[in-house]
Amino acid sequence: MADPSGFLKHNRKDAPKRPVADRLSDWHEVYLDQEPAERDQQVRTQASRCMDCGIPFCHSGSAGCPLGNLIPEWNDLVRVGDWASASDRLHATNNFPEFTGRLCPAPCEAACVLSISQDSGGPVAIKRVEQAIADASWERDLVWARQSTVSSGKRVAVVGSGPAGLAAAQQLTRAGHEVTVYERDDRLGGLLRYGIPEFKMEKKVLDRRLAQLRSEGTRFVTGCEVGGDKPGDLSVETLRARYDAVVLAVGALRGRDAPDLPGRSLNGVHFAMDHLVAANKECEGDGPTSISAEGKHVLIIGGGDTAADCYGTATRQGALSVTQLDQYPQPPAVRDEEISPWPVWPWILRNYPVHEEAGERRFAVAVEEFVGDDAVDSVRLREVVVRKDPSTGRREVTPVGDHVEEVPAQLVLLAIGFEGVEHMPLLSGLNLALTPRGTISCGPDWQTPTEGVFVCGDAHRGASLVVWAIAEGRSVANAVDAYLTGASDLPAPVHPT
Ligand code: SF4
């Protein structure tokens, strides 16, 4: 039984971070790698704040965790120090809790009843508890290869090795199918490898999970674009002939551009993701990055996760200055729910550690022009106000006053969102067209209009959270398993939108 008054005895305490000077001198994770005994004791106290509500909103898919994580159950198991059972219950709903514990902005915490009242001391630190259980599971040898004891004789290709593809692949392999994951990049992991900086999740965390998948029997092919025509690529015809089902988990990495802004074509103006990929490749040992912030004034346009990732990356690369621009007003005090793209509570949780390290954030400003000869050297800014047009529901950005400010910038990073799936030959090869949102549509069984071809993750949903990618990967596995065998016992935590 949970302690119903635990939250009255203990305040919420987030995981301790490393000193800023240490963080800026290397690429290791921001959060302190605590001694297990110390971490476990602190996390047990945090878990004891959960009162095990009768109706736990934290684990409901509509408001809280899309995976349906059994949060009150594992909170109580941690409270009493039963880490093995907590690991079992956590892995029952989440293939990769060490990813979500590090990367998810925790909608579960926004949904926790203790987030409603200021007097409660804040929501249960669910994300911290989740990461501690996941890390303790690896330390205590509670994670092992769960090889299937049955074989269906069916073959499945998963295209894309990000979190959705990996979750689908692991579920289907464990169900007895022969699964091969195709990755066009030289290394596995998709966004987890080349989109997420080391300081948020070190690659060794990804690699040990990939080793588990390999031990379970999932096969991987890297440097292979399905539908491409380079040596080593796989044609769509071979894909269809070789596999009984195909899962598309190709992400939604087409960056939103600002093509009409004067000076957009100047050297030094890049998509945010290009910056992150190049930096991650350098961290992998591939030589100096092609887009370095070292010795430059850096301007990042955008207010979300990707912008923050660029911010921390540029700081660590030795930028002269880093400034992040957001056209919306500064939350939470003056943030207008009507115009804000972000819910307020998760935004508070997204008070990214990188912003306390260095640099500057500016709100209610927008770029008017990139200035330079061949390469960008400065940027002209205007104050703006964002309003919602009541007739169309669209947000409109309007300049305020006549003042134009020019700030130095030799590197500009566009982190203004994603427009959907990249245009790739695979799509036409499979007779698939993108929706107006740039995603791949599917029926209620996750199957695209092309027979035997399924879709999940950002490719279906649009750019979203890692927890949604895993939830969709698990759900598409259920659908593919049912398609191949007539029925499935695999869990399906979410349904297509
Ligand atoms: Fe515990 Fe909060 Fe979930 Fe209630 S909503 S079960 S207090 S974590």
pLDDT band (50, 70, 90) for residue 120: confident
Nearest to 280 by CA among 167, 162, 164, 187: 187
Q: Please compute the mean of the pLDDT values over residues 209-228 and round it to a whole number.
A: 98
CB 56 within 8 A of CB 105: no
Question: pLDDT of 98-115, one tens digit each?
Answer: 999 999 988 899 889 898
Of ligand 1's listed atoms, the one at least distance from the Cα of 52 is: 6
Task: Please give the distance, rounded to the nearest whole angstrom, from the Cα atom of residue 114 to the centre of ligand 1.
Answer: 7
pLDDT band (50, 70, 90) for residue 341: low
Q: Residue 387: its pLDDT value, please? A: 84
Residue ID of nearest Cα to ligand 1 atom 5: 112
Q: Residue 331: its pLDDT value, please? A: 67
Task: Please give the distance, rounded to the nearest whole angstrom, from the Cα atom of residue 468 to the centre of ligand 1.
Answer: 20
What sign does the dihedral 39-44-45-50 (CA atoms) show?
positive
- In one-letter notation, the amino acid at residue 338 is E
Residue ID of nearest Cα to ligand 1 atom 4: 53
Quick one: how many helices (H) and strands (E) in the chain?
Answer: 18, 14
- Ligand 1 site residues (CB inside 6 A) read 50-53, 56-58, 71-72, 75, 112-114, 124, 126
Task: Please give the distance, rounded to the nearest whole angstrom, from the Cα atom of residue 50 to the centre of ligand 1.
Answer: 5
Q: Please compute the mean of the pLDDT values over residues 142-166 and round it to a whole number.
A: 97
Beta pairing partners, 178: 155
pLDDT band (50, 70, 90) for residue 272: very high
> With 0-12 CB in 10 A as exposed, 13-18 as middle and 19+ as buried, what is 381?
buried
Neighbouring C-beta atoms of residue 490, cutoff 10 Å: 18
CA 105 vs CA 77, 102, 127: distances in Å: 23, 9, 8
* CA distance linking residue 157 with residue 397, whole number of Å: 44
Q: Residue 291: its pLDDT value, please? A: 96
Higher local confidence (pLDDT), 52 or 242? 242
Of ligand 1's listed atoms, the one at least distance from the Cα of 50 is: 1
**Average pLDDT over the chain, rounded to an integer:** 93
Residue ID of nearest Cα to ligand 1 atom 2: 112
Question: pLDDT of 375-420, one tens digit each?
Answer: 999 999 999 998 888 888 788 889 998 999 999 999 999 999 999 9
Higher local confidence (pLDDT), 346 or 86? 86
Q: Please compute the mean of the pLDDT values over residues 157-184 and round it to a whole number.
A: 98
- In one-letter notation, the amino acid at residue 84 is A
Q: Residue 350: its pLDDT value, please? A: 55
Q: Which residues 6+ apart lie within 8 Å of 353 measured at CB?
A: 17, 23, 30, 312
Nearest to 44 by CA among 82, 1, 89: 82
Domains and CATH numbers, the chain: 6-139 (1.10.1060.10), 155-253+419-485 (3.50.50.60), 269-414 (3.50.50.60)
Please say if the pLDDT value at position 495 is more than 50.
yes
Please say if the pLDDT value at position 55 is more than 90.
no
Tokens of 322: 């880093």
DSSP per residue, 317-350: TT-SEEEEEESSPPTTTT--TTT-SS-HHHHHHT
Q: Which residues 6+ apart lie within 8 Å of 100 measured at CB?
A: 67, 94, 127, 130, 466, 467, 470
Best residue for ligand 1 mutational test, from 9, 60, 70, 75 (most atoms within 8 Å of Cβ): 75
Bridging pattern class, strands 360-363 and 321-326:
parallel
Percent of the chain whose predicted confidence (pLDDT) is above 90: 83
pLDDT band (50, 70, 90) for residue 351: low
Task: Please give the distance, rounded to the nearest whole angstrom, from the Cα atom of residue 350 to the centre of ligand 1.
Answer: 20
Q: Residue 267: its pLDDT value, please? A: 98
* CA distance linking residue 463 with residue 446, whole number of Å: 17
Best residue for ligand 1 mutational test, from 7, 46, 114, 127 (most atoms within 8 Å of Cβ): 114
Q: Residue 61: its pLDDT value, please? A: 62
Angle, CA of 268, 270 and 271, to the nearest 5°: 170
CA 155 vs CA 149, 161, 247, 263: distances in Å: 16, 17, 11, 50
Q: Residue 345: its pLDDT value, please? A: 45
Count CA atoms within 13 Å of residue 110 on its CB side. 19
Percent of the chain whose predicted confidence (pLDDT) is above 70: 95
Q: Please compute the mean of the pLDDT values over residues 235-264 and round it to a whole number.
A: 97
Best residue for ligand 1 mutational test, from 8, 48, 52 (most atoms within 8 Å of Cβ): 52
Q: Which residue has the tokens 């992040």?
A: 324
Please say if the pLDDT value at position 4 is more than 70.
yes
Please say if the pLDDT value at position 282 is more than 80.
yes
Q: Please compute the mean of the pLDDT values over residues 78-90 and round it to a whole number.
A: 98
Containing 414, the helix (H) or strand (E) segment is strand 411-414
Residue ID of nearest Cα to ligand 1 atom 7: 50
Q: Mark 70-102 as b/e (b = at least 16 C-beta within 10 Å).
A: bbbbbbbbbbeeebeebbbbbbebbbbbbbbbb
Neighbouring C-beta atoms of residue 436, cutoff 10 Å: 6
Q: What is the CA radius of gyration of the chain?
A: 23
